[in-house]
Structure 1
Amino acid sequence: MERTVLAAIAERPDADTALAEQVRRVGAAMGRLGVQLRWTYRVQDALAVIGSDASLAGMLADWDAPGAEQSLDAVLRRFRGLPVFLMTAEQELPLWVYEVIQGFVFPLEDTPDFIAGRIVHATEEYADRILPPFFRALRDLQDHHQYSWHTPAHAGGVAFLKSPVGRAFFDFYGERLLRTDLSISVPELGSPLEHTGPVGEAERNAARVFGAERTFFVMNGNATANRVVGHHAVARDETALVDRNCHKSLQHALTISGARPLYLVPERNGLGLAGPIPPAALDPAALRARLADHPLAETDPVYAVITNSTYDGLCYDAVRVAELLGESVPRVHFDEAWFAYARFHPLYARRYGMAVTEETLPGPRRPTVFATQSTHKLLAALSQSAMLHVRPAERAPVDYERLNATYLMHCSTSPLYPMIASLDVAAGMMDGPSGPYLVGEAVTEAVRFRQAMVRLAGRIREDGRRPDWYFGVWQPPHVTEPGTGRTVPFAEADPVRLAADPACWVLEPGAAWHGFQGLSDGYCLLDPVKVTIVCPGADAVAGTLGWGIPARIVAAYLRRRGIVVEKTGDHTLLVLFSMGITKGKWGTLIDALTDFKRAYDDDLPLAEVLPGFGPPAATLRRFCTEVHERLRALGLGELVNEIFTDLPEQVRTPADSYQALIRSRTERVPLDRLAGSVSAAIVVVTPPGIPMLMPGEAAGPADGPLITYLRALEEFDRCFPDLATDIHGAHRDGDGRYHVEVEVR
């Protein structure tokens, strides 16, 4: 680990004073010991280094320097245990300063080598202390340079060196990664299957950091974590309450367990965005009524799964949801694939699964809570790295040996140790003040981007030299100031408050900006780091409008500019503000959107804006108009809302349909033969990524909303193949016709 010590001193580095000369000598002595001294004499520079340089392993602070208190306070908020040595003769320091510093240094009273040695020793201890358990053990083992006599067969990368292509692979990834790709036969690292040794210690550390009683590291992604919970929490023919806005891995869990699903239906708005499940739909009386009419459910539900936050960044009051569902089920599972950071920022208080505790929800109706998190999505971990968190309740105790038996069915016996280390490090990065600081940075950058977009739209309108349209952002248009009750436009709101006050992001019941109905106060919050950019042409209440610019064309343009968005709807683009987002990154996005506007307004040739895309003779504006008018004529926006709120009839369980699939009692039929069939596979359109047809569900009549929607998608894709829909479960033939796997009648 590279180590840097910040010297925040009133003197300039080239000052002709005894103090400056002695500090220069200390810096030279530190350099000989492998540690760099980074000198600042202005408080703004010191604050910038503290906020941005993760290689800091120590600080030499001059109490007499301007802004010294600010610098020490910044260290307190950013780091835990960073060794700070204070230079001062002052005896009456504020008490909090003693909590920050490790000791005092008087440069003119000791030799440079002694002072440097003392500081360097402290940085070494700090660098070792911050390492989480498994990563420390893995690093220490790698430093032993032992021969490998176990799997994997590349033996620390040596096998790759025996082939030209292998050598290219070795050189690309480097020896250290390959030396740490080890077998579970290495006892020094513990067992990832039995959760012993440093692996077990790392999982226990993660449980503490994320607020769980028990945490399991999962190497095959959040999809596997979902399958583990669903397979463990509900048995064959038992009833499960399943959020229809679910990942397909929950359908896999239903198939494996043989459970009978009752789907909970989220709301939708005119932008095509999935909203929350209304609280009234989770009321025990409402659930009893639906169970009474359910064609398959034969027992009371024993398990419920809710997607939190949604793909578009809608976060429930998880405590309230657990309270409502706890009246009906003993186990609640929050699929938090996109929400692993929630515990580390005050905006999300009560909004995540592990917030459901004895303190927030006391009493016998508190359910056992599972939370599955795709750690790699929005925290710093390698792809496929996930965590499963558990907080049990007395009414549904968790036998961890039995849960681990399910875990073993789904997890590899040959996990990649660098993935385990990345989960360990992800937890370490969130530990102490570092977690709130890092998540706070992401929230702050998202707020700045949101306000910059609104301000730019206002400047375009005021300038008047171009048409006054611009891209919008899905968010509250106004913010109410506390105390005064005064309403201010979002762009003029205090960014510090926007980044800290949940009230700025709560979906008010009936508000037109979000377009959802049936909400209660505080029930749902828009996560500021999930930013939905709205293209002209759709409204949250009115739906598709007369004129517009399809988001798929904008997304294609952005890809040509090296910008890949997370999700594209008919008129929306989703971008994620993770911890890796910078001002340069989001500034480049704004520049690209503005360039698209200019190309549209000037009606540039499509071949110039998007070479090789669409009709060669078209212009950008004419192509956008043609695509938008086709979307509107087909009524895709209205149809998608209809099929996701009026669900298909359930005929069989997903498990029964799967048996038909693997025993070849199914066939693929075109849409003109789909009417009256029972689906044998899941059909998912992305966006919105929600199943429109689950295994065991009836496709309905030929003129019903589902088949009408599929026909409309098929027609659109054949007209505009460059903008084809991302659909799973509906297979295209050579002519672009959809075929769906159904049970043989």
Structure 2
Amino acid sequence: MKFRFPVIVIDEDFRSENISGSGIRDLAEAIGQQGMEVIGFTSYVDLSAFAQQASRASCFILSIDDEEFGAGSDAEVEIAVASLRAFIAEVRKRNIDIPIFLYGETRTSRHIPTDILRELHGFIHMFEDTPEFVARHIIREAKKYLDALSPPFFNALVNYAEDSSYSWHCPGHSGGVAFLKSPVGQMFHQFFGENMLRADVCNAVDELGQLLDHTGPVAASEQNAARIFNCDHLFFVTNGTSTSNKIVWHSTVAPGDIVVVDRNCHKSILHSIIMTGAIPVFLMPTRNHYGIIGPIPKSEFSLEAIRKKIEANPFARNAKNKKPRILTITQSTYDGVIYNVEQIKDILGNSIDTLHFDEAWLPHATFHEFYKDMHAIGEGRERTDETLVFATQSTHKLLAGLSQASQILVQNGTGRQLDTHRFNESYLMHSSTSPQYSIIASCDVAAAMMEAPGGRALVEESLLEAIDFRRAMRKVDAEFGDDEWWFKVWGPEKLAEEGIGEREDWVIHPQDKWHDFGQIESGFNMLDPIKATIITPGLDIEGDFAEFGIPAAIVSKYLAEHGIIIEKTGLYSFFIMFTIGITKGRWNSMVTELQQFKDDYDQNLPLWRVLPEFVKKHRQYERVGLRDLCNQIHNMYREYDVARITTDMYLSNIETAMIPADAWAKMAHRDIERISIDEIEGRITAMLVTPYPPGIPLMVPGERFNKTIIKYLQFARDFNTAFPGFETDVHGLIKEQENGVAKYYVDVVYESLS
């Protein structure tokens, strides 16, 4: 299989009709005749952009016989050396291994400073050897570099696919051959390509190793990733961090165990509570009226506070063992709020059996000093004695994994080691016996991409792009002035004029006005800049509605029809992420489209013109103006005071009536009844109740409905009736049509009247 990694030549004479130009072209031709592509440039252009060619090149050949190096003045030579030094530094910031060669006709290594020479793989003196000889030397170094690039599993998978072995095992498409027997199969084959299909193999292939028992190239890749991520053990998972969370829980939690959990955790944690039969004790995060989930106050983590919660829980206070079995914290929230993990370890180390940090949105943090102490596991971290620390990470969310690529990181205690054999029983319980090998390969490659110094450079680039985006949005706001509306990006008021700025700018303090999380402790939390929540006009952070407003759901549909798909939408906010794949072009397009939305809104253009695809499905909006629709939805939000309802329902006191596993058992045995939302006050839910937005479970099986939650469900019913196409989705809320009228129900635990 041939990968395209050309030799990059940078020489101002590359296309010139002179001796120097002829010499470098002869060398390029000799390299090409031996099977390697050569691309020639005549200048460095933009250094940082050009240095990124290092990800696409097999080596660089740089001329030092340009005019500035030759007959130029000392000042010109100094400038040329500085330019060369800057280029090499920019390359090495991302890649310490790619070969760099200098070549000249008259200049030699004595004309080049030592700090530059030490970064080189060779010095070529033109015309002293034949072009063919020099080409072989360059190709040897380039191939040595390329051969070392592939991490263990990806390398084995590529070699296996190249072997063209006949497949007698599953999957049944046999390396893609089955698709070639059908017209629609031909389309599928042409779309995905032969390499992907040849690499889709069964776990019976010995030379690829086993994911399920961590042997062979799979094990080598997991060990390689553990080294890169600075942890004691690392396990690849091919069906997402939802499954990674369940593996961790089933490896340590048993029925009747007390578990301490972030109330606004991912639903996979609540599924784990149900599956293990655990007794949950919840830590309550703060929240502002934008719907943004804030941090759990530091005081909630104290042993005294946790003991009080245990005694207040009717099931936990009667448990045989009062020591919590696991603590699970969402480390980073959807909107980017993260915790100082070292402080949590100091408070709870050895008081809880296992500390688990759901870092689905934070796999990048260990690679940059900006996040020091703000992630679970890393180099030089303090270890507790008897407590294991787990981090579960979605490689596919912010790194370069394929969808469902995830990993589990483990840090041993000083007096307690992970029993990998017992842990693997839980791993087997939740893993498919037919894992997708492309996902494993993406876990492998995603980790290798973060090898120093490349990982730090990638994270720094994400930080810079995210902060540049914020600066651009503020610039547009300033140009519009006070008399015009514009979008805001939620976050600290202070931004550095250039670069990343100070980490302290992103640390959350109680006196800060921008977050409205109340009296939280300084230094315990920070906002991750690469998560950007954009606020639309209409609602302030205290929950007060303006005279006019622009609901975020409308902006999201507008952006989608203009080719921009965002991550999450709230009432007056939407969320985007600056992953390592985001570029200046993408976020500049976002700024441009938001400006176009403003123009269309200000002109009140009809929806058939600005949202044609949406209007095709919902003809009732055809003659409605964009501004008019915004005002209609805004007025309904204001009438129901929905910002305060959504805040209050998550912070309300919800009574626990049953252990979640017992309530789920009622559902499994159909010992439930379907009740109208107008009649469910005090009834026990048999299902998770999860409003979207924000997609965070509101109620767990076994909890009783209160008036605040019912008021929100009634709002959802009325809103969905009034604005089809913009429905508020609530998982657990059942919609049924009766005589053409939508009725809403919830499945609750059956309760005998006797």
Measured at CA, do residues 606 and 533 of structure 1 come closer, stay the same or move farther in structure 2, by a change above 3 Å? same
Counterpart position of 2:595: 594
Q: 1:425: Cα distance to partner?
A: 0.6
Counterpart position of 2:727: 724
Alpha-carbon distance in 2 for matches of 1:732, 1:180: 43
Matched, 1:642 2:661: no
What's the CA shift string for 1:616-672, capped at 9, x where partnerless? 443222221121111011121111111111241111111111111111111222102
Contact 2:221-2:444 within 8 A present in 1 as well? yes
Contact 1:510-1:516 within 8 A present in 2 as well? no
Counterpart position of 2:396: 376
Alpha-carbon distance in 1 for matches of 2:587, 2:47: 25
SS in 1 for 2:500: helix
Measured at CA, do residues 669 and 33 of structure 1 come closer, stay the same or move farther in structure 2, by a change above 3 Å? farther
Counterpart position of 1:3: 5
SS in 1 for 2:362: coil
Measured at CA, do residues 45 and 572 of structure 1 come closer, stay the same or move farther in structure 2, by a change above 3 Å? closer
Alpha-carbon distance in 2 for matches of 1:456, 1:47: 26
Alpha-carbon distance in 2 for matches of 1:48, 1:110: 33
1:30-69 superposed matches below 5 A: 30-45=31-46, 47-52=48-53, 54-63=55-64, 66=80, 67-69=83-85
SS in 2 for 1:618: coil
Q: Any gaps of 5 or more consecutive residues in structure 1?
A: 479-489
Counterpart position of 2:382: 361
Contact 1:330-1:395 within 8 A present in 2 as well? no
1:668-687 superposed matches below 5 A: 668-687=674-693
1:284-303 superposed matches below 5 A: 284-297=303-316, 298=319, 299-303=322-326
Alignment partner of 1:146 out of 165, 188, 210: 165
Measured at CA, do residues 295 and 52 of structure 1 come closer, stay the same or move farther in structure 2, by a change above 3 Å? farther
Alignment partner of 2:436 out of 416, 419, 432: 416
Contact 1:323-1:361 within 8 A present in 2 as well? no
Comparing 68-77 with 84-93, greater Cα deviation is found at: 84-93
Alignment partner of 1:437 out of 457, 468, 473: 457
Q: 1:94: Cα distance to partner?
A: 4.2
Q: 1:229: Cα distance to partner?
A: 0.7
Contact 1:304-1:332 within 8 A present in 2 as well? yes
What's the CA shift string for 1:511-548, capped at 9, x where partnerless? 11111123222211111111111001122234443432
Matched, 1:264 2:283: yes
Counterpart position of 2:553: 552
Measured at CA, do residues 616 and 154 of structure 1 come closer, stay the same or move farther in structure 2, by a change above 3 Å? closer
Contact 2:390-2:411 within 8 A present in 1 as well? yes
Q: 1:106: Cα distance to partner?
A: 1.2
Alignment partner of 1:158 out of 163, 177, 184: 177
Alignment partner of 2:413 out of 388, 393, 397: 393
**AA aligned opposite 2:540:** D
Counterpart position of 2:584: 583
1:618-657 superposed matches below 5 A: 618-657=624-663
Contact 2:384-2:414 within 8 A present in 1 as well? no
Counterpart position of 2:97: 81
SS in 2 for 1:717: helix
Matched, 1:733 2:750: no
Contact 2:54-2:95 within 8 A present in 1 as well? no
Measured at CA, do residues 687 and 327 of structure 1 come closer, stay the same or move farther in structure 2, by a change above 3 Å? farther
Alpha-carbon distance in 2 for matches of 1:519, 1:472: 24
Contact 1:221-1:374 within 8 A present in 2 as well? yes
Alpha-carbon distance in 1 for matches of 2:230, 2:117: 29
Counterpart position of 2:230: 211
Matched, 1:658 2:678: no
What's the CA shift string for 1:424-466, capped at 9, x where partnerless? 010111112111112222221111111101100110117xxxx
Q: 1:98: Cα distance to partner?
A: 4.3
Measured at CA, do residues 161 and 43 of structure 1 come closer, stay the same or move farther in structure 2, by a change above 3 Å? closer
Alpha-carbon distance in 1 for matches of 2:360, 2:545: 30
Contact 1:549-1:625 within 8 A present in 2 as well? yes
SS in 2 for 1:301: coil
1:466-505 superposed matches below 5 A: 467-478=483-494, 490=495, 493-498=496-501, 501-505=502-506
Alpha-carbon distance in 1 for matches of 2:127, 2:523: 59
SS in 1 for 2:310: helix
Alpha-carbon distance in 2 for matches of 1:234, 1:39: 60
Q: 1:36: Cα distance to partner?
A: 2.6
**AA aligned opposite 1:86:** L
SS in 1 for 2:360: coil
Comparing 377-386 with 645-654, greater Cα deviation is found at: 645-654
**AA aligned opposite 1:374:** S
Counterpart position of 2:331: 308
Contact 1:62-1:68 within 8 A present in 2 as well? no
**RMSD of equivalent CA atoms:** 1.8
Alpha-carbon distance in 2 for matches of 1:451, 1:744: 55
1:58-207 superposed matches below 5 A: 58-63=59-64, 66=80, 67-87=83-103, 88-91=107-110, 93-207=112-226
Q: Any gaps of 5 or more consecutive residues in structure 2?
A: 67-79
SS in 2 for 1:151: coil
What's the CA shift string for 1:707-740, capped at 9, x where partnerless? 1111112111111122111221112122333211
SS in 2 for 1:723: coil
What's the CA shift string for 1:214-263, capped at 9, x where partnerless? 01110111100011111112211010011111111111111111110001
Alpha-carbon distance in 1 for matches of 2:499, 2:522: 23
SS in 1 for 2:125: coil
Counterpart position of 2:76: none
Alpha-carbon distance in 2 for matches of 1:48, 1:676: 61
Counterpart position of 1:24: 25
SS in 2 for 1:722: coil
What's the CA shift string for 1:566-619, capped at 9, x where partnerless? 111000010111122222211221111111111221222233323415634432
Measured at CA, do residues 720 and 310 of structure 1 come closer, stay the same or move farther in structure 2, by a change above 3 Å? same
Q: 1:179: Cα distance to partner?
A: 0.9
Counterpart position of 1:427: 447
Comparing 208-217 with 35-44, greater Cα deviation is found at: 35-44
SS in 1 for 2:45: helix
Alignment partner of 2:717 out of 714, 719, 733: 714
Contact 2:235-2:407 within 8 A present in 1 as well? yes
Alpha-carbon distance in 1 for matches of 2:467, 2:562: 23
SS in 1 for 2:110: coil
Alpha-carbon distance in 1 for matches of 2:544, 2:281: 29
SS in 1 for 2:97: coil
**AA aligned opposite 2:728:** T
Q: 1:63: Cα distance to partner?
A: 4.5
**AA aligned opposite 2:194:** E
Comparing 643-652 with 52-61, greater Cα deviation is found at: 52-61
Counterpart position of 1:280: 299
Alpha-carbon distance in 1 for matches of 2:557, 2:46: 40
Q: 1:53: Cα distance to partner?
A: 5.2
Q: After TM superposition, which residue ranges in structure 1, 4 or more long, deviate above 4 angstroms? A: 92-95
Alpha-carbon distance in 1 for matches of 2:359, 2:383: 23
SS in 1 for 2:591: helix
Measured at CA, do residues 352 and 293 of structure 1 come closer, stay the same or move farther in structure 2, by a change above 3 Å? same
Q: 1:26: Cα distance to partner?
A: 0.6
Alpha-carbon distance in 1 for matches of 2:543, 2:670: 45
Query: What is the count of residue pairs matched by the alignment?
Result: 719
